[in-house]
Amino acid sequence: MNRILVFAFCLLLGQQCFCWGFYAHKKINYYAVFLLPPEMLVLYKPSANFLMEHAIDPDKRRYAVAAEGSRHYIDLDRYGVFPFDSLPRNWNDAVAKYSEDTLQAHGIVPWWIQTMLYRLTDAFKEKNQAKILKLSAEIGHYIADAHVPLHANSNYNGQLTDQKGIHGFWESRVPELLAEKEWDFFIGKGEYIKNPGEFIWARVLESATASDTVLKFEKELSQNFPTDQKYSFEDRNGITIRQYSSSFSKAYDSKLNGMIERRMRQSIFAIASFWYTAWVNAGQPDLTKLSNKDFSADDLKEFEALNNAWKNSSVKGREHE
């Protein structure tokens, strides 16, 4: 029921819910919990619902804070061609070369994830449970976004190639149709990441490479698919909506050869590994002995403000992410 409401709501807003879709973001954070060692599970397992529900806070914040948008993507094609060597991976070097305004305009996700990792590590050092949980939920969001191919391409919704809607198609429609029934999220254990910057840049470069395939395959499939079967119409709570048909969605998924499932699995692995890395770098504090076990009045106010902004405002800045 909730999902249907959210979905109908997205449509009312004019297809503004992008970013792995709320559905996939929640799943990804939730599954990441189970890749953690027992010393972390003592906190993360009882908090799995919180981590899942708050996986989408960064998207809600886009309705309240203008600076939020650029934290969810990076238009790598603005910096030349793969492997985009002209763009320094180090933030200060990149600012010196391009100016902060330019970097913000084209998106900052790989750097923002590293900022969030420092914050999460500090929260572990402070042994502050409320902070650990909030930051864990949010870093999960940004890491998952970095794995979405169209978050690394300026043609992020196929708007330049007459493929409008492909963003939500790849990251919402297909996962909602297949993740539960057909995909496997059994994924060993998270691992310590020695060089988080290098790790996340590698993932973002993979996303940029995959984005060409994401666009090209949809184009090819559309050309070979009966036009009247590409979309289907469904009644949702009294609203008739047009969406990519299940046969088109499945055909696209198999043409992509498991790419969406793979990126979802990699997101889950990366999130657990970042959580684990922050905990290790903070000296592996005992998570049964934390302070700030309850969210403060300010935290609760912030959660409410995010919900209100999301329900009552429009996105500040670029629509996707």
HSE, side-chain direction, 13 A CA sphere, residue 79 = 24
**Contact in structure between 108 and 145 (CB atoms under 8 Å):** no
Among 17, 19, 200, 251, binds Zn ion (CB under 5 A): 19
Taking contact as CB under 5 A, which single stretch among the options 51-59, 74-82, 83-91, 281-289 is the one that binds Zn ion? Answer: 51-59
Q: How far is the CB of 8 from Zn ion (least distance, A)?
A: 21
Buried-exposed string 228-253: b where 16+ CB fall within 10 A, e elsewhere? eebeeeeeeeeeebebbbeebbebbb
* Residue 116 C-beta: closest distance to Zn ion, Å: 13
| Alpha carbon distances (Å) from 208 to 77, 200, 204, 238 | 8, 12, 6, 39
Site for Zn ion in 181-240 (CB under 5 A): none
The answer to whether 319 contacts Zn ion (rule: CB under 5 A) is no
**What are phi and psi for residue 285, nearest 5 degrees?**
-60, 150
When the beta carbons of 172 and 281 are compared against Zn ion, the nearer one is: 172
**Contact window for Zn ion (CB under 5 A) among 31-39, 142-150, 255-263, 286-294:** 142-150
Q: Output 133 or 139, the one with its CB closest to Zn ion.
A: 139
Cβ proximity to Zn ion: between 24 and 278 the closer is 24
Residue 321 engages Zn ion in binding (rule: CB under 5 A): yes
CB 77 within 8 A of CB 208: yes
Neighbouring residues of 233: CB distance < 8 A, sequence distance ≥ 6: 240, 241, 242, 243
Q: From the CB of 140, what's the least distance to Zn ion, in Å?
A: 11
Cβ closer to Zn ion: 21 or 196? 21
DSSP 5: H
| Residue 29 or 129 having the CB closest to Zn ion | 29
- Of 253 and 321, the one with the shorter C-beta distance to Zn ion is 321
CB < 8 Å & 24+ apart, contacts of 124-127: 124/278, 124/279, 124/281, 124/282, 124/283, 124/285, 125/282, 125/283, 125/285, 126/291, 127/285, 127/289, 127/290, 127/291
Which residues 253-292 are close enough to bind Zn ion by CB under 5 A?
none
Q: Report yes or no: 140 and 51 within 8 Å, Cβ to Cβ.
A: yes
Contact between 145 and Zn ion by CB under 5 A: the answer reads: yes
DSSP-assigned beta bridge partners for residue 244: 231
Task: For residue 60, state whether it binds Zn ion (rule: CB under 5 A).
Answer: no
Nearer to Zn ion, 7 or 142 (CB): 142
Q: Is 61 in the site for Zn ion (CB under 5 A)?
A: no
Q: Does 171 bind Zn ion (CB under 5 A)?
A: no
Nearest distance from C-beta of residue 32 to Zn ion, angstroms: 16
Q: Which runs of consecutive H residues, i.e. helices, occur in 63-195?
A: 91-98, 100-106, 109-126, 129-146, 166-168, 174-182
CB closer to Zn ion, 72 vs 265: 72
| Total of residues contacting Zn ion (CB under 5 A) | 5
| Minimum distance, C-beta of residue 319 to Zn ion, in the bound complex (Å) | 12
What's the min distance (Å) between Cβ of 314 and Zn ion? 16
Q: How far is the CB of 307 from Zn ion (least distance, A)?
A: 16
Stretch that binds Zn ion, among 48-56, 145-153, 263-271, 302-310 (CB under 5 A): 145-153
Asked if 72 is part of the footprint of Zn ion (rule: CB under 5 A), the reply reads yes
Using CA atoms, how far residue 34 sits from 51, 83, 297, in Å, is 12, 33, 30
Token output for 167? 């963003």
Which stretches of the chain bind Zn ion, using CB under 5 A?
19, 59, 72, 145, 321
